[in-house]
Every structure is written in structure tokens, then in C-alpha cells.
């Protein structure tokens, strides 16, 4: 039973899997333990199939408005300087790492747009002081690169 694939309808964008309204087949454990409990997907059924059109219509309506918003936000992100102060030890190593929530707060503090922390993609965990590049997916067609300056305290 655990090896059989599970059919789900995505309710949110999942990187590498699909967009809201897409029907996907995933490993049963991935769907049952991660996607469904976190609200990224819902169980597929004939009744739920009818909801796909609603999800896709809502997505299209949001995207049409948000492509311009996303480009505007990307422009704003390119103009601001984001500085993040955190505790660091000798040699510039941080106690812990910088979280996406920390980055969202620093962007807001710098006068940037309000971001969703789930849209921020940090390649390698930020564990040292200095300048770091972070990708922000503002829209399926628009992403921005953000320079985050981490300063030790």
C-alpha cells in the first residue's frame, strides 16, 4: 500500500511539482505526511475535480493583476539595501542561520514590499556574515534576486 502513488489536487504552488489546480500523482507518504497536512494539496475525487476550475479561475484572476505587481515589487527589491544584524561568533560564523522570516522582516524594515516567506528561496543556509544573494519568486513568470547584507553583532 505504501508504494502506490496518490492522486492529489494542488491548492498552492509547490516548487518542482506544479501550480494551484494541477492534478498530480505523488508517493503516498509525501502526499499524506507533507502536502495534505500543510494545506498544499487536497485529496483527489470526482467531486473535488469540479473545484479545479474554481481554483484555476481564481489563479488566473490573481496572476493577471499580479504580473504587473510582481514586476513592480522586483523593481523595489532591486533598489533597497537589506541589512540584517544577528549574533555572530569569532570568524564571522553565526549562531544558527538566517531564516526566511528574518529576511522578510529585514525587507519590510528597509522599506521594501511585503513578501511571503514561502516565496523566498535560500540556496545554502546563510551561516556567515557578509553579502548573500537570495532568490524571490514573486510570480511564476517573475523572480528577483535580493542582496542581503548580514552584519554580526
pLDDT in tens, 35-61: 999 888 988 888 887 778 777 777 766
Residue among 149, 123, 131, 136 nearest 76 (CA): 136
pLDDT, residue 3, reads 66
Provide CATH code, domain 71-152: 3.10.430.100
- In the chain, list all ranges with CATH 3.10.430.100: 71-152
**Does 65 have pLDDT greater than 70?**
no
| 90-137 pLDDT, tens digit each | 888 988 889 888 998 998 888 888 788 888 888 888 999 999 999 988
Q: Give the pLDDT confidence score for residue 69 in this predicted structure.
A: 80
Q: What is the model's pLDDT at position 18?
A: 84
Where along the chain do the CATH 3.40.5.10 domains lie? 5-66
* CATH architecture under which domain 5-66 falls: 3-Layer(aba) Sandwich (3.40)
Reading the block at residue 104, the C-alpha cell is: 522578510
Q: What is the DSSP letter of 98?
A: E
Amino acid at each position: 500500500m505504501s508504494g502506490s502513488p496518490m492522486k492529489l489536487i494542488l491548492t498552492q504552488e509547490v516548487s518542482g511539482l506544479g501550480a494551484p489546480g494541477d492534478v498530480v500523482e505523488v508517493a503516498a507518504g509525501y502526499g499524506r505526511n507533507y502536502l495534505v497536512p500543510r494545506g498544499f494539496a487536497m485529496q483527489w475525487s470526482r467531486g473535488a475535480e469540479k473545484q479545479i476550475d474554481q481554483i484555476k479561475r481564481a489563479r488566473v484572476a490573481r496572476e493577471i493583476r499580479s504580473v504587473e505587481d510582481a514586476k513592480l515589487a522586483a523593481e523595489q527589491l532591486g533598489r533597497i539595501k537589506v541589512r540584517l544584524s544577528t549574533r555572530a561568533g569569532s570568524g564571522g560564523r553565526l549562531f544558527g542561520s538566517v531564516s526566511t522570516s528574518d529576511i522578510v522582516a529585514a525587507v519590510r524594515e528597509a522599506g521594501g514590499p511585503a513578501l511571503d516567506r514561502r516565496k523566498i528561496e535560500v540556496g545554502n543556509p546563510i551561516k556567515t556574515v557578509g553579502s548573500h544573494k537570495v532568490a524571490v519568486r514573486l510570480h511564476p513568470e517573475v523572480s528577483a534576486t535580493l542582496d542581503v547584507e548580514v552584519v554580526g553583532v
